[in-house]
Amino acid sequence: MTRALQTFPWDSLAEAKALARAHPDGLVDLSVGTPVDPVPQPIQDALASAAAVPGYPTTHGTPELREAAVGALTRRHGVTGLPADAVLPTIGSKELVAWLPTLLGLGAGDLVVIPSLAYPTYQAGVELAGARLLRADSTVAVGPERPALLWLNSPSNPTGQVLPAEHLRKVVDWARERGTLVVSDECYLTLGWDAAPVSVLHPDVCGGSFDGVLAVHSLSKSSSLAGYRAGFVAGDPSLVARLLATRRNAGMIVPRPVQAAMTAALSDDEHVAAQRDRFRARRAALWTALLGAGFRIDHSAAGLYLWATRDEPAWETVRWLAERGVLVAPGTFYGPTGDRHVRVALTATDERVAAAAARLAKPGRTPS
C-alpha cells in the first residue's frame, strides 16, 4: 500500500514563480539551494577516469573513497578516531534522509523527533516509514517518551542557526541514556559565517565514542556536486553495518564514476574554500540589500540561506519579492512556526545576486 505523503512544497510556488519570471530583467530564483557554479575540473577529470569501468560498484564504496571521507572529516571538522568502515556513500544526502527510518526498520510504534523548523524531507521520511512525528527543539519538549530517532540539523536549513558543542553534547548524552539514535544532518557544516559549526562526531560532542550517533554529509554545496548525487553517512560502526547490509540487498549503490569524483572532492580543500568565498560575497550582498529594503534577518549565522522577515505573513513577503522578480521560499515550507519568514538562498550567480540587490533598492512594479 502506497503511503500518502505531504504535497511537494515547491509545487505551490508556481504562481509566484510566474509573476517573478515576468519581470523585464528576468527571474532571480533564490527559492532552492541548487548550485550554479561549475564543478571543479579535477573532480570532472576523476569522474571521467572511471567512465570505462564495466563492473558493478561496491555498495560500501571504494577503500579510497572511505579513507578520503575520514580524512576530510578530520581536516575540516576535527573528527578523530573514525574507522574507514564507519563511512557509507549515499546517492546524495536526501535519499538517506528520506529512507533512513525505513532502512532502520522503524514503524507505527516508533517516535521520530525532528526540529520545529526543518527540511521537509525529515517529515517525508517519517511518513514513508509509517512512524510517528514530533517537532521539538529541546529534549525537555520531548517529554517522558523514548524516541527511536532524533534528528539534529546544525547549521539549520532553513534558519542558519548553529548549535554549540555543549548543546549537542547534552542531546547526545540524553539520547544515549534512552537508547535513542541521534542523526545529525551536517550538509552545511563547511559554511560557518558568524559562528563555527561543530560535527556531532567531534570528540567534544560524542566524547570520543560514536555509539548511537550518525552524521549525514553532502558534497552538493561544498563541491557543487548536486548533479552527481554524492553524499555519505558516518558514525556508529554497527549502525553503518546495518545500513550497508540493507542497502546491498536493495541495490542502493553510488555509481563508480561518482565514487571516483567524491574521492577527489574529499581529498582537496582548496576548491571548498573557493566556493565558500563565493557564497560569502553573495551573502554579504543579499544581507545588505534585504536590510536596506526593511527586512530583519534572524539567525543565519551559517549555512546557505538567509532567514528573513518583514513581520508579515510569509506568503505576502513571497509575493512582494516576486513583484520584483525575486523568488524565495516561504517559511511555512519548513514548519508552522515559519509563517512570518522567508528563506533566501545564496545559490544564484554573482550577476543574478547583483540584480536582486538592485531591485530591492527600487519600488516594486504594479502587477497586472
**Average pLDDT of span 53-58:** 94
Where do the domains of the chain lie? 9-38+271-360, 51-267
- Give the global pTM: 0.94
- Residue 368 — pLDDT band, cuts 50, 70, 90? very low
Q: In CATH terms, is domain 51-267 a member of 3.40.50.300?
A: no
Tell me if 9-38+271-360 shares its fold with 51-267. Answer: no
Q: How high is the pLDDT of residue 280?
A: 97
Calculate what percentage of the chain has a pLDDT beyond 70: 97
State pLDDT tens for residues 283-325.
999 999 999 999 999 999 999 999 999 999 999 999 999 999 9
**Average pLDDT of span 195-224:** 97
pLDDT at 363 over 70: no
Give the residues across from 133 on adjacent strands.
112
State pLDDT tens for residues 97-110.
999 999 999 999 99
pLDDT at 3 over 80: no
User: Is residue 88 within a helix (H) or strand (E), and if so which, with residue range?
Assistant: strand 87-91
- DSSP summary character for residue 194: S
Cβ neighbours around 39 below 10 Å, total = 18
Q: How high is the pLDDT of residue 269?
A: 98
pLDDT at 276 over 90: yes
Q: How high is the pLDDT of residue 4?
A: 63
9-38+271-360: CATH, from 3.90.1150.10, 3.40.50.12780, 3.30.70.60, 1.10.3720.10: 3.90.1150.10
pLDDT at 233 over 90: yes
Nearest to 202 by CA among 228, 253, 165: 165
Task: Measure the CA–CA gap between 99 and 107, rounded to whole angstroms.
Answer: 12
